[in-house]
């Protein structure tokens, strides 16, 4: 049975890394003493070692030790043997590129589908969708494919922001960009606001957090979904 959490962000404003999620993660990883971290997304260009150290400090608060996947000679075997897996945020293009370069996308999907508990934040959540096409990130590298883990039957747009009518910014809103995506694809997209996450246990997908999420479907008006919404209507 799949045991997955896909969170919009790792850190809330003025909060410490993962702190807002730790009570949930203590339950999610209840039988796990060790965790495999995938640092490939490298936010702000942070090194794999420094990123892993940051994650280790957070998980120490719930008595889980962390090893980075880059520390293993055989990363595929590390995934298959992991008690738990976390993919952190950063640049989704870089993350997906590295997963394909190391032949890990399929093994990661199969391992999660087989029941190894998984956490993704930001880019690590983006890859939980059908494709990475609704990421907010700059294409700093070209991945082998935009197809990702397909842990849920829709795409995510983490860090979703509503249009600010008082802003003088003349660029596209998130809603505009998602609508552009839907001129070419029928995959639904969930705009996941900061502090919100999805809990996936088996085939059940539930929205968690204190905010609504915005669901976009091709040729339909977007709708707001309340906390504890069950997404089985999309399966």
Instruction: Kindly tell me the burial class for residue 114, based on how many C-beta atoms sit within 10 Å of its own C-beta (0-12, 13-18, 19 or more).
Output: exposed
Tally: H helices and E strands in the chain:
7, 11
CA-wise closest residue to 191 among 209, 204, 203, 166: 209
For residue 123, report the phi and psi dihedrals to the nearest 5 degrees. Answer: -60, -35
Separation of alpha carbons 214 and 224, rounded Å: 5
Q: Mean pLDDT of all residues in the chain? A: 95
Radius of gyration of the chain (CA): 17
CA-wise closest residue to 84 among 34, 18, 152, 27: 34
Please give the sequence-ordered ranges of beta strands (E in DSSP) within 39-187, or none if there are none.
Answer: 65-68, 85-87, 118-121, 155-158
Query: Sorting pLDDT into bands at 50, 70 and 90, what band is 40?
Result: very high
Q: What percent of the chain has pLDDT over 70?
A: 97
For residue 155, report the phi and psi dihedrals to the nearest 5 degrees. Answer: -100, 160
Ordered structural domains, the chain, with CATH: 3-234 (3.40.50.880)
Give per-residue pLDDT as tens, 47-57.
999 999 999 99
> Of all helices (H) and strands (E), which one includes residue 79?
helix 75-81
Sign of CA dihedral 44, 49, 52, 54: negative
Query: Sorting pLDDT into bands at 50, 70 and 90, what band is 201?
Result: very high
Give per-residue pLDDT as tens, 143-174.
999 999 999 999 999 999 987 777 666 667 89
What single string gives the DSSP state of each residue in 116-152?
A: --EEEETHHHHTTSSBSTT--S---S--S-SB---SS
Task: List the catalytic residues.
Answer: 122, 137, 159
Checking if the pLDDT of 28 tops 90, the result is yes
pLDDT of residue 15: 85
Answer for the pair 147, 121: CB distance below 8 angstroms, yes or no.
Answer: no
Specify which residues 224 forms β-bridges with.
Answer: 214
pLDDT of residue 235: 73
Answer for the pair 85, 108: CB distance below 8 angstroms, yes or no.
Answer: yes
Least confident of 6-15, 68-77, 98-107, 128-137: 6-15
């Amino acid at each position: 049975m799949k045991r997955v959490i896909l969170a919009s962000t790792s850190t809330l404003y003025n909060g410490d890394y993962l702190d807002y999620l730790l009570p949930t993660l203590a339950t999610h990883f209840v039988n796990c003493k060790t965790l495999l971290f995938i640092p490939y997304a490298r936010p702000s260009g942070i090194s794999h070692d420094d990123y892993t150290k940051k994650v280790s400090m957070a998980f120490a608060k719930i008595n889980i030790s962390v090893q980075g996947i880059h520390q293993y000679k055989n990363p595929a075997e590390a995934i298959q043997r992991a008690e738990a897996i976390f993919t952190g945020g950063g640049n989704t293009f870089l993350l997906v590129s590295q997963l394909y370069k190391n032949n890990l996308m399929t093994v990661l999907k199969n391992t999660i589908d087989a029941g190894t508990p998984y956490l993704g934040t930001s880019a690590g959540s983006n890859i939980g969708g059908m494709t990475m096409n609704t990421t907010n990130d700059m294409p700093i590298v070209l991945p082998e494919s935009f197809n990702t883990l397909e842990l849920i039957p829709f795409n995510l747009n983490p860090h979703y922001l509503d249009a600010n009518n008082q802003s003088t910014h003349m660029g596209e809103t998130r809603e505009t960009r998602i609508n552009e995506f839907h001129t070419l694809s029928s995959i639904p997209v969930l705009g996941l606001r900061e502090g919100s996450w999805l809990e996936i246990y088996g085939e059940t997908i539930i929205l968690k957090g204190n905010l609504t999420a915005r669901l976009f479907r091709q040729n339909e008006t977007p709708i707001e979904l309340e906390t504890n919404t069950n997404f089985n209507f999309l399966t």
